[in-house]
Amino acid sequence: MQNGLGYDTWATTIENAAPDSGRKVINVQQLLGLPDSTPNPHLWYKPTTTPVVANAVADGLAAIQPAHAAHFKANAAAFIASLAAWNQAIAKFKTAHPGIPVATTEPVADYMLQAAGADNMTPWAFQANIMNGTDPAPQLVAAERALFSQHKVEAFLYNQQVTSSLTESIISLAHASGIPVVGVYETMPVPGYDCQSWMLAEVNALDKAVTVKVSTEHL
């Protein structure tokens, strides 16, 4: 399984170093028909991605073991059904807080924010710079900081697993400005979480931030 969009090119290197004609690789980018120019690689945060991937895995396994095809497909269906709570939480948030303005450091949870109807006010160039480990231009930093000092957003989401002096300073500014902070995770926090509970916990943390103004920086 590969994400694609340049996120895990190391996997291709490993696969090429140990070729296997019987290996089936599912590339999520290709599965979804996304061009290489797609700016945000965090496809697992897009609610519509997971069911497509689950069915592709089931189909791939069924091709390898046809006798167990029904079992694989039933498991995929059960997994997709288990995502209902996440999807319902997103829909509930979208109804309760349509177009609510938020800020981010990088686009880890952007797809989920879009599904939830939130308006990410952070300039894309700023997000891309932080994601790629480069320093944003001073005007981008000023624009990001103004979202907090001028109280233009209702919540702030940052990659809890990757921070820098710049992102830490923005977290401090959010606190000083009374903007609740939500830590989102690029990889699943463990122990105690699976894919479903991880995604649901983040939606719940966002809802808590905008409804009762409480930060959740760690799951």
Residue 180 class from Cβ within 10 Å (0-12 exposed, 13-18 middle, 19+ buried)?
Answer: buried
Residue 20 has pLDDT above 90, yes or no: no
Average pLDDT over residues 4-20: 91
| pLDDT the model gives residue 101 | 98
Kindly state the average pLDDT of the residues 126-146. Answer: 97
Q: Where are the domains of the chain?
A: 9-81, 96-212
Average pLDDT for 184-211: 96
Q: Three-state SS string across 145-214, please? A: HHHHHCCCCCEEEEECCCCCHHHHHHHHHHHHCCCCEEEECCCCCCCCCCHHHHHHHHHHHHHHHHHHCC
DSSP 102-123: EEESSGGGHHHHHHTT-EE-S-
Please say if the pLDDT value at position 22 is more than 90.
Answer: no
What pLDDT is recorded for position 21? 82
Q: What is the pLDDT of residue 190?
A: 87
Greatest Cα pair distance in the chain: 62
96-212 folds as Rossmann fold (3.40.50)
Give tens-digit pLDDT for 202-211.
999 999 999 9
Q: What tokens does 85 get?
A: 């709570």
Query: And the tokens for 83?
Result: 């995502």
Per-residue CA distances from 84 to 48, 93, 96, 193, 205 (Å): 12, 14, 18, 16, 17
pLDDT digits (tens, 9 = 90+) for 64-80: 999 999 999 999 999 99
Position 23 pLDDT exceeds 90:
no
Q: Give which of 80, 83, 108 is closest to 206, Cα–Cα.
A: 108
